[in-house]
Chains A and B, each alone.
Chain A
Amino acid sequence: GESVGLHLPTLSVQEGDNSIINCAYSNSASDYFIWYKQESGKGPQFIIDIRSNMDKRQGQRVTVLLNKTVKHLSLQIAATQPGDSAVYFCAESGTQAGTALIFGKGTTLSVSS
């Protein structure tokens, strides 16, 4: 079936560096994408979302890029901090409220001081 995957299971960076977490999706009909951050023992936390009619969206220290041509999604974190250490999941769905999210397996981001 359709699924969302991530290129790298782990990413290690130094504090202050910029981080880029990548995700490839397979369902070309998906029109809504979300990045979640999950810390140990907690539920996923919404970071940022983007609709398919956009190719870039910025938040506070985070930017999501969407390339529909190659079905690729990325999350950029500026000036990465130790508190950013977590597992990051991308998820895709349709725009209808009742559509379930399809998650990838996650990328573990480790930030060292």
Chain B
Amino acid sequence: GAGVSQSPSNKVTEKGKDVELRCDPISGHTALYWYRQSLGQGLEFLIYFQGNSAPDKSGLPSDRFSAERTGGSVSTLTIQRTQQEDSAVYLCASRPDWGGQFFGPGTRLTVL
């Protein structure tokens, strides 16, 4: 596809379970970002990957959150031992060497 895709679109889980969210960026984009958006709020930066450099994890809210980017393309955001406050829409974006970030549709995570 031409845009950023994310899966699943919706995820409902129980408190304490682990979840994995997937992002397929636009082909050829060198940078990949994860953001979190709570209801009615702006976007909160979580982590980004740029080429082969070490990721910038400065936005991760706790050590329960981690992310990987394999082969410079697909990325997985993992949340361990989910809590109710983790409920949000998780957005992935990719960016070419220069220009704006292009966002996927997001994964809506609900922790019961």
* Chain A nearest Cβ from B36, distance in angstroms: 11
Q: Which residue of B lies closest to A104 (CB)?
A: B42
0/1 interface trace, chain A 22-61, chain B, CB 8 Å (1 if under): 0000000000001010000111111001000000000000
| Known contacts A97-B50, A98-B53, A101-B45; is-contact A49 B105 (Cβ 8 Å) | no
The count of chain B contact residues (Cβ–Cβ below 8 Å) is 28
Main secondary structure, interface of A, reads loop
CB <8 Å contact, B56 and A98? yes
* Chain B nearest Cβ from A99, distance in angstroms: 8
| Known contacts A89-B42, A103-B43; is-contact A97 B31 (Cβ 8 Å) | yes
The count of chain A contact residues (Cβ–Cβ below 8 Å) is 21
* Chain A nearest Cβ from B109, distance in angstroms: 14
CB <8 Å contact, B42 and A100? no
| Known contacts A43-B91, A43-B106, A97-B95; is-contact A102 B101 (Cβ 8 Å) | no
Interface residues of A (CB under 8 A from B): 34, 36, 41-46, 49, 89, 91, 95, 97-98, 100-106
Sampled A-B contacts (11; CB under 8 Å): A42-B105, A43-B103, A44-B103, A89-B43, A95-B98, A97-B31, A97-B50, A98-B31, A101-B33, A101-B101, A103-B43
